[in-house]
Amino acid sequence: MDYHRPVPPEESRRIAQTFGALYLITFATSIPALWLYQPVLDNPAGYIAGTGHDNRILLGAFLELLLIIANIGTAVVVYPLLKRVSEICALGYVTARLIESTFILVGILTMVTVVTLQRNPSAGSEATLGSIAYTLAAMKDWTFLLGPGFVVGVGNGLLLGYLMYRSELVPRRMAMLGLIAGPLIIITGIAAMFGLIQAGGPVQGLATAPEFVWELLLGIYPLVWGFKAAPILRGDPGATPSVV
């Protein structure tokens, strides 16, 4: 996309609606998936020793596969517009989404591996399988902490918040929420990593609230109202990308 080429309203609207819809899909897939995984995450050894829940776990894995597609889509779809502000930051946002999706994929693999162990108890003793299941569940917890619990703060929070603030594609007060939410995710993610706060506990949960609202608005606002008539859409010379 040429930096100086005006973006027709219908094209801007199409990008905005796709972007918003994909963000809402990330909500519709990530939250149920975490709930569906609970039988394994709450009691890995008990899950291995018991029966059932296979389809529940596999459904969670399928939803997270859709989440990966939606995650990458939210970055790729809007990249042609955001690079008009800063190509480096726009590429950074795409990269952050890819890294987050990589963590999610590793988490998916840990969950479906537990399902395989549960389906094939002859692979080892109950104690051994329970220990392996616990290890895999711990890996899933770490992928959540490092992906949604840290990388999201950099990508969806700081980078996307900055790009939306500079581009004026959404109201600047709304974009400031991303600039606030990003550091909170990063700080509490680091604190949880080093055991200063409980991972997934009340402090981290409270700190993720601004990010939750920010991403929800990123789904609703573009889908309903489209992007604002920002200078970058008009191809103004002063709206060409900066170095950062």
Per-residue model confidence (pLDDT) at position 243: 46
* pLDDT over 90, % of the chain: 77
Q: Helix H segments across the chain?
A: 9-36, 38-42, 44-49, 54-82, 87-119, 126-146, 152, 160-167, 172-193, 202-207, 209-225, 231-234
Q: Identify the segments of the chain with pLDDT beneath 50.
A: 237-238, 243
Its pTM stands at: 0.91
Per-residue model confidence (pLDDT) at position 182: 96
Parse the chain into domains and list their residue ranges: 9-222
Token couple for 104: 């999610």
- Average pLDDT across the chain, whole number: 91
